[in-house]
Amino acid sequence: MPMYKKSLGILLLLLVAIAVGTVYGSYAQESAVVLDEAGREETSQGKNITVYVTGAVNNPGMVTVKEGARVGDVVNSCGGLLPTADQQHINMAQVVKDGEQVKVPERQASPAQGNGQKNGKQASEKGGLVNINTADEKELDSLPGIGPAMAKRIIEYRETEGSFQRIEDIKKIKGIGEAKFAKIRDKICL
């Protein structure tokens, strides 16, 4: 009988140790600091992302903002817009993504020079570049070889796939190949 009591005591002590370890482990897990892939601490408000800002801003360069930030937040982090910034061709409400480049265009002093090809349409009503990430259907339709149907396809692509990262990405739109891209290359920007 004493052997039975000794085994029962050891078993009971082992069960208590397992219970204490389980409780301690669950508390330790809750208080752990969560790090993202780059080793930066994630906060409960969201992780930090990095965006590269160029163009007509006071302090261009890389900016770290919270995930879900908008172009306006990024521009403010760079000290705001320069007086020469073309606010008509940048969507300050657009949500930015990690690794994205935000280009703030400057106002064009004179109409943009074409590539020698004319088809009766201007690059835009103001003679400047058309931002393919923010332009509406009318602005896109003003590009040579881009009609209303193609303009709708460009807008649909932006809505489903997100912003264009390079101007060459517009060739992903069905109906825009090398020849059409060559006609609009000097009339578009991001």
Average pLDDT over all residues of the chain: 78
Q: What is the C-alpha to C-alpha distance for residues 46 and 68, in angstroms, rounded to an integer? A: 8
Strand partners, 64: 50
How many percent of the chain have pLDDT more than 90? 18
How many percent of the chain have pLDDT more than 70? 77
Does the predicted model carry a pTM greater than 0.75?
Answer: no
Strand partners, 48: 66
What does the pLDDT look like over 47-71, one tens digit per residue? 999 999 998 999 999 999 999 999 9
pLDDT of residue 72: 92
pLDDT of residue 61: 92
Q: What is the C-alpha to C-alpha distance for residues 59 and 61, in angstroms, rounded to an integer? A: 7
Q: What is the C-alpha to C-alpha distance for residues 154 and 82, in angstroms, rounded to an integer? A: 29
pLDDT of residue 2: 67
List the beta strands (DSSP E) in the chain: 48-55, 61-66, 101-104, 130-131, 188-189
Fold classification of 130-189 (topology level):
DNA polymerase; domain 1 (1.10.150)
